Amino acid sequence: MEQKIEKNPEIVGFACSFCTFKASEMAGSLRMKYPEGVKLVQVPCSSRVDPAFVIKAIFEGADGVFVAGCHPGDCHFIKGNYFTRRKIAALKEELDAFGMKDKLRLFWVSAAEARRFVEKVTEMYNDIKEKKNGR
């Protein structure tokens, strides 16, 4: 009988420095836990995430990638997250052609939402883990 080895997902997250990254720091300060397989990259604004970064992360082995920033209307760069929303929607369409649409997520987390940050990344991690391990 063959024993199945469970593999833990590796997720790369691009987090805006004004909101989402601050929420991740607050989560750490509050000793909230999220999966070890989540690696964050701090960016000045979610709109500064080049789609090439997302594609590179996926093709270099990331099981999932997320882009997270300030809530729409609350961006420190005024319209940055509106650009992000359009950019990520277009990128998801492109990834869909390769059956990889589910590897990319976009969510909004303010600096005060440490719990929301933990919930979002844990949910993504668990979804990917279930698919990866065939459940």
> Does residue 1 surpass a pLDDT of 60?
no
Q: Which spans in the chain are helix H?
A: 20-29, 51-59, 80-96, 114-132
| Alpha carbon 56 to chain centroid, angstroms | 14
Only one residue has tokens 């369409």, namely 93
Quote the mean pLDDT of the chain. Answer: 94
Q: Specify the higher pLDDT residue, 88 or 134.
A: 88
How much is the pLDDT for 135?
60
CA dist 41 → 15, 67, 88, 130 (Å): 6, 10, 17, 24
| Alpha carbon 117 to chain centroid, angstroms | 10
How much is the pLDDT for 5?
66
How much is the pLDDT for 3?
61
The secondary structure of residue 66, as a DSSP letter, is E
CA distance 90 to 38: 24
pTM: 0.92
> Does residue 108 surpass a pLDDT of 80?
yes
pLDDT per residue as tens digits for the range 39-68:
999 999 999 999 999 999 999 999 999 999
Mean pLDDT of 65-90: 94
How much is the pLDDT for 134?
73
Mean pLDDT of 20-42: 96
CA distance 92 to 57: 14
Only one residue has tokens 């790369």, namely 12
Is the CB of residue 64 less than 8 Å from the CB of residue 35? no
Q: Which amino acid is at 121?
A: V
Mean pLDDT of 69-94: 94
Domain boundaries, given as residue ranges, for the chain:
11-17+35-125
Q: Which of 107, 103, 24 is nearest to 61 (CA)?
A: 103
